Amino acid sequence: MSITNTSGRRKTAVARIYLSAGSGTIIVNGKDYKEYFPTLPLQYIVTQSIEVAGVSGNHDVKVNVSGGGVKGQAEAVRLAIAKALIELNPEIKAALRAKGLVTRDNRMVERKKPGRAKARKKFQFSKR
């Protein structure tokens, strides 16, 4: 079987994955995904697409991920894996979509405005 190449994004994180037939290993930036994402919730997010599709242990995944924080990176990897699995087998799209794994979450951080402390927070007002 050939290698399937897809990408996923979340906030400012971008994940590029290479999915191939194999034993189920997931390598993220040269490390095992359990080493790269040390907490259980993040590990669950990364493997969620594979579990929902019911193909755990059938595919090897090599991931290059950059930008954002660990949560955004984990969700970017999840989306990329879901897109790759759909490319291989379009029949599992319905199951993945039911769990909300196919839609890109396009929420981004709002930019800081001039004259404000942050995007919406105002500076402290003192009457004196």
Element (H, E) at 9: strand 4-10
Give residue 128's pLDDT. 78
CATH number at residue 22: 3.30.230.10
- Asked if residue 15 is part of any domain, the answer here is yes
Contact (Cβ atoms closer than 8 angstroms) between residue 43 and residue 73: no
Local mean pLDDT, 10-residue blocks, the chain (128 residues): 91 96 94 96 96 92 96 97 95 95 94 95 89
| Cα–Cα distance for residue pair 46/76, rounded to 1 Å | 9
Residues 6+ apart with CB under 8 A from 93: 86, 102
Domain of 75, in residue numbers: 4-99
Does some domain include residue 11?
A: yes
In this prediction, residue 2 carries a pLDDT of 87
The predicted pLDDT at position 119 comes to: 96
Q: Does residue 111 fall inside a structural domain?
A: no
Write out the H or E segment, with its range, that includes residue 16: strand 13-21
In contact, 40 and 49? CB cutoff 8 Å = no
Q: How far apart are CA 85 and CA 90, in angstroms?
A: 8
Give domain status of residue 91, yes or no.
yes
* Nearest residue to 60 (alpha-carbon basis) of 10, 121, 2: 2
pLDDT of residue 1: 57
